[in-house]
Amino acid sequence: MSLIGFDEAPRLYHRSTTDHGRITTTLDTLSTGSLTTRLAPAVRLATSTLASSNLSRSRVVIISDFQRGSWRGDEDASLPEGVVLETVPVGSQVSANLALSGLELDRSSTTGRDRISVSARLVNAGEDSLTTEAALMIDENEVQTRAVSVAGGEAVRIDFDPFTLTQMFTRGSVRVSDQALQSDNALDFVLSPGGNTRVLIVDPAGAGESNLYLRRALGIAEGSGFQVRVTPSAPSANALATADAVIINGGPLPGGEAGLRLQQFVEEGGGLLIASGGGTRVGADQASFLPVTVGGTRDAGPEPIRLGFVDYDHGIFEAFRGARSGDFSRASFFRTRALTPTDSTRVLARFDDGSVALAEARRGKGRVLVWASGLSRLWTSLPLQPVYLPLIHELATYLGGESDVAAWHEAGTTVDVFALADATGGTELPEDAVAIRPGGDPLVINPADPILHLDEQGTWEIRSPGSRPDHPYAIAVNVDVAESDVTPLDLEELRASLGGGGAYEGDSGEDATLEATGEDFERRQAFWRYLMAVAFLILVAESVLANWLSRHEIKEAAGR
């Protein structure tokens, strides 16, 4: 007998053993998980296992709740000719289920403090109207509750009052009371303050027409937004201390003491963008700090100048890589400046004649970008294009050093622990840090390959063994909402897809019979002398397994 367990990927626990005690012992260690269920990979592993057997008769037993989503019908997976297939459906038939299927987190800033508004989407998969309570938990404390009624087959939005975010790695969750599928009763998240990028626009004209589109673009931001200020003069030390990014919009690059302050701001992690429109001047003491030499202006001829190359591998433009994600070629440029890159420069965009449009260089911990045109309608039609707003958002976010740190991850994804910590405000991890699973089990982190496979629902912690910090580095993991679809799979369709050509034992439990000769039945009574090819244990995240598995779930829950 061979034993294969799987969720989204299969695992061969035992191959061709006659020791049924080992099989039973392994079964006692298994429980449901948080990953999606995929039948096809396990079928392929079973087929390869059967290929190594010399026995003339083979039998496959599939134990599952057979959700429709576990089999797509067009997958390249089938059983060898002559294999007998037995399907054993387990788990209760869920006819009524409430599922949290979506979470929205909106961030705003009031008097320098982040305020978070939480909204959740609750779906009723049954036919009858259901009533429940939804609770917002912050750091394991219930802070708000809402009474919710959902009509059959409908969905409702649950809105909670905003709360103030003050601590790094603040844990939150939305939970509902529902006795059906437990895995879709909670959505977890982890947030840290500092989501708003503080942008300082330096423009000799002040807050006027020359920066109108720029200010409007930065004022329309969902979620993690921007705080925008405009100054007509060189930024002071106090202004730089409360800024993440500086945009010099068509004015001279500050020199002297102000220029040194700006250089220090960048070297300590700030971002600087020079939009070289009218009035742009660079002094000799600042020239070496830029990634390019800024030359004179040129006007477009009868045909407008357009962008001909964009580096979609760069963080600024990566979001525009896909089809219909933004067409930069539609923007016309009426006037541009000549930019000559230095050896350490990375060119991020070029015009259709090959000249530099956008260039970047790292300076200390920060970055300097130079744009070869203005950001207003006087220089280009770009502000009138749909791509302008998301481009300004990406530029400002990149300059501010902010990364799009997800509030949660889907079960089954992988993350680089160190890269994620760096993106979350440069969090420093202890040298002996381990990953603590939601169930409490530690997982060693390899510094040379700090990749975590997030295979368990809940909140993971990254900390030193034995330590108990109030707000450790944490990662929230939620199950795939598609797993809440309990529509059963058509077993006849599955059997037709799997093939095999042998007789089938159906899904009628102990009354199922296998079409075989008397000799075959005698062999089944003495099956420990013959190798039975493969038995499946299907591990599904979304089902409550009946009888022999349920007691293990209870034990696991009690242990937590």
User: Residue 486: pLDDT band by 50, 70, 90 thresholds?
Assistant: low
Classify 40 in phi/psi space as left (phi over 0), alpha (psi -120 to 50) or beta. Answer: alpha
DSSP state, residue 391 = H
Distance from the Cα of residue 411 to its chain's centroid:
10
Instruction: Express each pLDDT in 1-24 by its tens digit.
Output: 888 877 777 888 888 777 888 888
State the Cα angle at 266 between 261 and 272, rounded to 5°.
Answer: 105
Helical ranges in 322-416 per DSSP H: 388-399
DSSP string, 219-277: H--SSS-EEEEEESSPPPHHHHHT-SEEEEESSPPP-HHHHHHHHHHHHTT-EEEEE--
Tell me what pLDDT residue 554 has.
Answer: 35
Whether 405 is in a domain gets the answer no
Taking residues 176-189, report their average pLDDT: 81
Measured CA to CA, the distance from residue 388 to residue 222 in angstroms comes to 15
CATH number of the domain that 112 lies in?
2.60.40.10
More confident residue, 549 or 53: 53
User: Residue 340: pLDDT band by 50, 70, 90 thresholds?
Assistant: very high
The two structure tokens encoding residue 103: 């979470």
Question: Residue 24 corresponds to which amino acid?
Answer: T
Whether 410 is in a domain gets the answer no
Tell me what pLDDT residue 93 has.
Answer: 61
3-class secondary-structure state, position 128: coil
**Residues 184 and 322 occupy one common structural domain:** no
Tell me what pLDDT residue 111 has.
Answer: 61
**What residues are paired with 230 via a beta bridge?**
201
**Residues 223 and 332 occupy one common structural domain:** yes
On the question of pLDDT at 114 being above 50, the answer is yes
**Residues 157 and 206 occupy one common structural domain:** no
More confident residue, 526 or 135: 135
User: Residue 402: pLDDT band by 50, 70, 90 thresholds?
Assistant: low
More confident residue, 79 or 290: 290
**Residues 244 and 341 occupy one common structural domain:** yes
Contact predicate 121/100, CB 8 Å: yes
Whether 404 is in a domain gets the answer no
Whether 474 is in a domain gets the answer yes
Measured CA to CA, the distance from residue 37 to residue 29 in angstroms comes to 19
For 359-395, b/e burial (b = at least 16 CB within 10 A) is: bbbebeebbbbbbbbbbbeebbebbebebbbebbbbb
On the question of pLDDT at 164 being above 60, the answer is yes
Share of the chain above pLDDT 70, in %: 80
Tell me what pLDDT residue 526 has.
Answer: 38
Last residue of some domain: 399, 428, 449?
399
Tell me what pLDDT residue 98 has.
Answer: 86
More confident residue, 196 or 189: 189
Tell me what pLDDT residue 290 has.
Answer: 92
Instruction: Express each pLDDT in 422-466 by its tens digit.
Output: 666 657 788 888 999 998 999 999 888 889 999 899 999 999 988
Q: Which residue do the tokens 């912050």 mark?
A: 138
Tell me what pLDDT residue 540 has.
Answer: 34
Whether 427 is in a domain gets the answer no
CB-based burial label for 174 (10 Å; 0-12, 13-18, 19+): buried
The two structure tokens encoding residue 27: 């079964």
Taking residues 288-306, report their average pLDDT: 90
**Residues 152 and 241 occupy one common structural domain:** no
**Residues 237 and 373 occupy one common structural domain:** yes
CATH number of the domain that 250 lies in?
3.40.50.880
pTM of the predicted structure, to 2 decimals: 0.56
Tell me what pLDDT residue 525 has.
Answer: 37
From 39, 30, 34, 50, select the one nearest 74 (Cα to Cα).
39
**Residues 244 and 326 occupy one common structural domain:** yes
Whether 415 is in a domain gets the answer no
User: Residue 558: pLDDT band by 50, 70, 90 thresholds?
Assistant: very low
Q: Which residue do the tokens 């707000």 mark?
A: 471
The two structure tokens encoding residue 40: 């096809």
Measured CA to CA, the distance from residue 173 to residue 485 in angstroms comes to 22
The two structure tokens encoding residue 248: 């010099």
Question: Residue 20 corresponds to which amino acid?
Answer: H
**What residues are paired with 60 via a beta bridge?**
85, 534
Whether 85 is in a domain gets the answer yes
**Residues 32 and 147 occupy one common structural domain:** no
User: Residue 94: pLDDT band by 50, 70, 90 thresholds?
Assistant: low
**Residues 266 and 254 occupy one common structural domain:** yes
Whether 420 is in a domain gets the answer no
Tell me what pLDDT residue 513 has.
Answer: 34
Last residue of some domain: 484, 519, 551?
484
**Close Cβ partners of 82 (under 8 Å, ≥ 6 residues apart):** 57, 58, 500, 501, 502
Distance from the Cα of residue 436 to its chain's centroid:
20
Share the mean pLDDT of the chain. 80
On the question of pLDDT at 359 being above 80, the answer is yes
Q: Are strands 10-14 and 245-249 parallel, antiparallel or unpaired?
A: unpaired
**Residues 447 and 514 occupy one common structural domain:** no
Instruction: Express each pLDDT in 516-530 by its tens digit.
Output: 333 443 444 333 333
**Residues 184 and 203 occupy one common structural domain:** no
Tell me what pLDDT residue 542 has.
Answer: 35
**Residues 393 and 308 occupy one common structural domain:** yes
Into how many domains does the chain fold? 3
User: Residue 37: pLDDT band by 50, 70, 90 thresholds?
Assistant: confident
Q: Which residue do the tokens 């020079």 mark?
A: 274
Contact predicate 299/378, CB 8 Å: no
Tell me what pLDDT residue 400 has.
Answer: 85
On the question of pLDDT at 260 being above 90, the answer is yes
Last residue of some domain: 376, 399, 422?
399
Tell me what pLDDT residue 426 has.
Answer: 58
Taking residues 347-357, report their average pLDDT: 94
Measured CA to CA, the distance from residue 218 to residue 501 in angstroms comes to 64
Measured CA to CA, the distance from residue 488 to residue 70 in angstroms comes to 10
Domain that holds residue 59: 3-92+488-559
Going from the C-alpha of 491 to that of each of 255, 497, 507, the distances in angstroms are: 76, 10, 9
Instruction: Express each pLDDT in 193-248 by its tens digit.
Output: 866 788 999 998 888 888 888 988 887 654 446 888 999 999 999 999 989 999 99
CB-based burial label for 518 (10 Å; 0-12, 13-18, 19+): exposed
Sign of the Cα torsion 156, 161, 162, 167 reads negative
Tell me what pLDDT residue 92 has.
Answer: 60
Tell me what pLDDT residue 391 has.
Answer: 93
**Close Cβ partners of 549 (under 8 Å, ≥ 6 residues apart):** 30, 31, 32, 90
Measured CA to CA, the distance from residue 217 to residue 490 in angstroms comes to 51
